[in-house]
Structures are given as C-alpha cells and as structure tokens.
Structure 1
Amino acid sequence: MTMCGRLVVAVLLLLAPIAASAQEFPTKPIRLIVPFPPGGPNDIIARVIGQKMSELVKQPIIVDNRAGQGGVLGTDAVAKATPDGYTVAIASAGALAISPSMEKVAYDTLKDLAPVTLVATVPEMLVVATNVPANNMSELVALAKAQPGKLNFASSGPGSLPHLACELFKLTAKIDIVHVPYRGAAPAVNDLLGQQVQMTFLDLPVILPQIKAGSLRPIALGGRERAPTAPDVPTTTEVGMPDLIIENWYGMVAPAGTPPAIVARLNKLATDAMADPAVRAKLAEQGLTLAGDTPEHFRDFIAADIKRWAKVIQDAGVVTTK
C-alpha cells in the first residue's frame, strides 16, 4: 500500500469512532439552555421543540433557564460547556448578533459557538399609544417631524432589538424621537398603555392581545409578509420603508468544537421536530414562523445580522459599553 493509501486508511480509522458516536447520540439527557426566564417566546420555543426532540430520541431534554443580561449569561454558559452535544441553547438575536457590538461579552459568537439551526423568526410590530394622533406610518412620521425631540419610544432595554429597531426607524424616516429604556417588555408595555410613552417596536406575540383589545394602535409590521394574526396591518415595505425589516429570531447553538457529526445529528433532530404539524401549529399560535436550515446557512445568517446591527449602532451613534 502506498503512503497516500496508508494515510487515507489512518484518517478513516480515526473518524470511524466519531461517526459511530454520532449515530448513537444521544445516550443520555441533553441540557437545553434558555437564556431567559420561563414563559417568554424563547422558553416556549425551547419547551415545544425540546419535547418533540425528546420523543424522537427517547432521551430527556432538560430545559435550563439561565436568565440575565438580555440573554448573554445563558449564551455564555453554553459557550463554556463541554463540546459534546449534551449542552445546547436556544438563543436569540440579541445575545448572538447585537450584544457583542453593544457591550463586553465573554464570548465571540462565531468563534465560541457552533450554529446548529435557525429555529424561528417573529416580526416586530410598531405600535403607538391610543392618544397619539397618528393612524398610519405617514401620519406618524409627519407628527414626529413637526415635533422633533418631543415624542418618546420605549424599549425593553439599551441595546435590545426594540431599541435598535427604533434607532433604525429614526435613521430611515429621518426623525428625532427619544429613547426611554425599560427593564423588559412588560414595563414598557405598561407605560405605553398608560400613555407615558408614545410608541415602541416589540415582538408581535407580546403586544397582540393589546392590539386586538384596541388598547394599542398598530402602525406597521417589520416582517416581510403580513402576519396571519394581524392581517390588516401593512408591512414596513408596503408603507415605503423596505429597509425597515425588523424580525427577532431564535436559533440553536452548541459550544464551538462540538464534532461536526454531532452538530449534524442535532440539526436533524431539531429540524425533524420542527417539521411536525402539531409543533408548527402550536408555535404558529404564538405568532412564530418556524425556519430550520443547515448549520452553514445559519452561520452565514448570524454573520450578516451581526454586520447589519453593528452598522445601525455606529450610524445611530448608540452609546456602547465595550
């Protein structure tokens, strides 16, 4: 046998145990980290997808809520975990694509994490308090231009997606509105209902009950298509702002160094779970659109989102703590 042939055989012998291990994976429970408290969209996705994955592999999927720092603490926990596929996370746009440009974080998204699959997307909805004399985008922009620096927008915290969504809105519409940060979406919605602030961008499922009740007025949806749960609300593209696409997203990640065969196995389990009609229906009720893609495509998706929001942060002059 030639030297080249012996080398090929040696490589195949080295890879054989990894391939066999991937076929057997998992042989024990998987810890699924959720970087937010129970009850939110991230947690709901993890529990619904995790339950179906557990049924598929006949192993427990243990949801571990690690809230803190807008998802950063839980995401850092998976980045530091043993790269064997038994610790993964359902992380979101904030911790993966925005926070690294806003603040000092202990991980590099593309170096310390292994993307598994994009799981779901959810559009952000621009809404105003009912005392704001604007019923559509053109009226809202005209109002803001007539009163520069007088209108406020709420967010779920500095550097959050709702914060940067409104910063992008300011840049796109060339208006001057003032940021009022809150510690989460719930207090922001409460003050919007109390007419202490005038507008916000938030995940559609978070504010859909108030929209249906008429206690908040929808202006435009940041998605690429109208939402089935709010079919009368136009998209930002329809109102003449095609660059104002604002969607939150959730994806599964593992620690960097997880063997590619194990990442591929996790990807198949997650995408098979997402293909289940009951899973799709349950998450559609939450206003979520399931995705499912390859690890390679998800990595490119994250990289593009990091670049996009870093530019918004720079162009808007957002103060960072890096």
Structure 2
Amino acid sequence: MSTPCRLAAALVLAVAGSSIGPASAADWPTRPLRIIAPSTPGGAADMFGRLVCDHFSEAFHERCFVENRAGAGGLIGMAAAAQAAPDGYTLATSSIAYNVIAPAISPNPGFDPMKDFTHIAYIGGPPNVFVVNPALNVRSLAELVALGRRGAAIDYVSPGVGTLGHLMAEVFAQKAGIKLQQIMTKGGSQAMMDLISGNVNVGTMTWTSALAQIRAGKVIPIAVTASARLPEFPDLPTFKDLGYDELTAVTWFALSGPAGLPNDITQRLNAAVAKMLELPDVRKRLDRDAVETRVMTSDEFTTFMASEIDRWTPVARRVMPGN
C-alpha cells in the first residue's frame, strides 16, 4: 500500500475509533453509574450521593448506585475515585471535608485534590451553628465573648477533629480574642448528647444535626455561618451580621470524577445536577435543612475548589496537632 493510502486508512480508523469510544457522550451511559460516597450509609455524603443518583437514573435512563467507601476522614473513598478510569462511570461525592481539610492535614492523602480530579458540579451544604446549653445563661455571641474574656478557656464540642465546625471555632476564638478548648467526642451525635446533658455547654455543629434540638429548646443557637439569615429563625444573626465576615461558610458537598473525564460527559453531568437543584421536591428537601445551593459550571466549581483549598489549608494546619 502506498504511503498516501496508508495515511488515509489510518485517518479513517482514528476517526472511527474516536466516535465509538467508551467515553463518548453520544453513547454514554451504556451501563450503570457508580457514585462513591466516602462515608458510612446515612452520612451526609451518602445522602447527597443518593439524591444525585435518583435524579441521574431518570435523566440518563440508566441505573445509578452509591458505593460507601468510608475511612480516613474520607480519603479512602476519594482515592478510589481518583484511581478509577475517566470514562464517566465512576464518580464521587466530594466535599470540603474530603477534598480540602483532610488532604491538608494528612501526610499522605493518596491524591492531589486538584490534579487528580475532574470537578464536575457544586451541590451545596448546610451552615454551621454555634449553640449553647440553656444552663450557661448565654443568649448571644457577645455574651459568649464576654464570658471568654474573663480568662478561663471555654470547653466546646464539634462533630470532630478536623471538621469545619472545629476550624470555625478556632478561627472565631482567634478573632474574638478568647480561648476555646475542644472536648473530644466520637462524632456529632455524641457531641450533641454532651451538649444536652450539660457535660459541655458550647458546641459548633452543622445546622442539620442541631436543628431538632434547637426546635425542642434543648440548645440555644447564638450565631450561624450562613450567608443570610434563615427563614425559620429570622432573629438568629449570622456571623457576618456580627462583624465576623470570615466565618461565612457551609459544609458543602459536590460531584467530582477522575482527572481526564471527557468534557462532553462532564458538561452533561453538570447540566443534570443543575436541573436537579431546580426540582420542587429537591428544593423543598434541601430548604428544610437550610442547605445553601449554588449552580456553578464545572470551570467555576474547579476555581471554587482551589479557593477553598487556599482558604482552609493554612487554618487546618495551624489548629491541628502535629501540623
């Protein structure tokens, strides 16, 4: 075969191969989608993963399932996602905990939170709230600061070491010029029980985990990290209202995949998440838990991820023992 003929044949094969490849958006998906949730069943990552899966099953007419891969603060699950083939069939519930805080404080996270992922779509998350036991006789953030400035450190609980609640408490203490001492617990549920029982009188919890006890009057909210006041509690100030602009944050979750995910598949996934967030039943469910959502393009979410890493990595390394 002559050289021109060989070149022509090679070109035909290349074009044909690119049009029928497994990662082509024209054919994708042709088999079930897997979303790795780096948490135990029932955890927030699991909940958001199942929410997305339910919508994807309808949007793409293909089965979608959640695989729980908990451990090491979410690092095990995210590492598995990073190592998966970039074909659009393995995705992960990413978050501020798994992709920002945990990699910052781990000597060997097993992945680079930017280079090893395609960041597809932002979903959102609940704010954190500072709550107190009624027996403390504190009804505002100003009163808590006044108590702290009397000299003794104030004990508090959070969902755990290295969580956003932990970091927010330490940032607040530094800005307010008071001392806070974290009391170790085995998670958010035990932390809330310690608050209700009066073993500890101050806590920084996610709004979702604290809401039932707030409604029951067992704990009193004094400030929330939301970007705006919550409709159910219009008298509850945000930290921004009180002059702590840097304490506006949510425990956000999102959707990511392995690095190298084809752009056409990334855009279809991003559009599906954006459509999901507009559904009335989804909106009602998320609003009930004060989940702040925001529609972002994949490029916008990637930029946001980088900014969150820049924002929280120095804080995490400063407050965590051994860093």
Asked if TM exceeds 0.5, the reply is: yes
Contact between 1:36 and 1:67, CA under 8 Å: does it hold in 2? yes
Distance 1:35 1:19 in 2: 26
Per the alignment, residue 122 of structure 2 pairs with 118
Alpha carbons of structure 1 residues 267 and 147: separation in structure 2 relative to 1, 3 Å: same
From 40, 47, 51, the counterpart of 1:48: 51
Identify the match of residue 311 of structure 2 among 304, 308, 313.
Answer: 308
Q: Give the alignment's Cα RMSD to 1 decimal.
A: 2.1
Rounded to whole Å, the distance in 2 between the matches of 1:102 and 1:56 is: 38
**Which residue of the partner structure matches residue 276 of structure 2?**
273
1:197 aligns with 2:218: no
Deviation at 1:302, TM superposition (A): 0.9
Contact 1:18 1:261 in 2 (8 A): no
Counterpart amino acid of 2:126? Answer: V
CA separation in 1, counterparts of 2:207 and 2:322? Answer: 27
Percent of aligned positions with the same letter in both sequences?
A: 32
Q: Say which of 293, 299, 315 aligns to 1:296.
A: 299
2:5 match:
none
Q: Deviations over 1:270-311 (max 9, x none)?
A: 222222222221222232123231111111111111111122
Q: Deviations over 1:153-189 (max 9, x none)?
A: 1122221111111111111111111112322111111
Aligned pair count? Answer: 311
How many angstroms apart in 1 are the aligned matches of 2:286 and 2:164?
A: 21
Cα deviation digits, residues 73-114 of structure 1 (max 9, x gap): 211111111111101011211111111111131111001111
Q: Distance in 2 between matches of 1:319 and 1:67?
A: 23
- The answer for the alignment partner of 2:180 in structure 1 is 177
8 Å contact from structure 2 (residues 128, 205) kept in 1:
yes
CA distance in 1, matches of 2:314, 2:255: 25
Paired residue secondary structure (1:313): helix
5+ long unaligned stretches in structure 1: 1-5
- Distance in 2 (CA, whole Å) between partners of 1:287 and 1:20 is 37
Q: Is the 8 A contact 2:23 2:262 kept in 1?
A: no
* Aligned 1:1-322 pairs, distance under 5 A: 13=15, 16-17=19-20, 21-104=24-107, 105-149=109-153, 151-314=154-317, 316-320=318-322
Q: 1:208 to 1:317 in 2, by over 3 A?
A: closer
TM-score, scaled to structure 2: 0.90
Letter in 2 for 1:302: M
Given that residues 126 and 220 in structure 1 are in contact (C-alpha distance below 8 angstroms), is that contact kept between their aligned partners in structure 2? yes
Residues 71, 77 of structure 2: 8 Å contact kept: yes
User: In 1, Cα distance between the equivalents of 2:241 and 2:134?
Assistant: 22
Partner residue in 1 for 2:4: none
CA gap of 1:18–1:295, structure 2 versus 1, over 3 A, is farther
Distance 1:19 1:65 in 2: 25
Q: Distance in 1 between matches of 2:52 and 2:34?
A: 13
Which residue number in structure 2 is paired with residue 3 of structure 1?
Answer: none
Consecutive unaligned residues of structure 2, counting only runs of 5 or more, are 1-7
User: In the alignment, residue 173 of structure 1 is paired with which amino acid?
Assistant: A
Q: 1:142 to 1:287 in 2, by over 3 A?
A: same
Aligned partner letter, 1:319: P
- The answer (yes or no) to whether the contact 1:222–1:235 under 8 Å persists in 2 is yes
- SS across alignment from 2:114: helix
Distance 1:246 1:196 in 2: 27
Instruction: State whether residues 70 and 76 of structure 2, in contact with CA within 8 Å, keep that contact through their aligned partners in structure 1.
Output: yes
From the superposition, tell whether residues 20 and 67 of structure 1 become closer, same or farther in structure 2 (CA, over 3 Å): closer
Q: Distance in 2 between matches of 1:18 and 1:199?
A: 56
**Inter-partner Cα distance in structure 2 for 1:213 and 1:78:** 40
Matched letter for residue 113 of structure 1: F
Distance 1:276 1:16, change over 3 A: same
Query: Structure 1 counterpart of 2:320, which letter?
Result: V
Q: Does the residue aligned with 1:155 lie in a helix, a strand or coil?
A: coil
- Give the structure-1-normalised TM-score: 0.90
User: Following the alignment from structure 1 to structure 2, what is the Cα–Cα distance between the partners of residues 166 and 64?
Assistant: 32
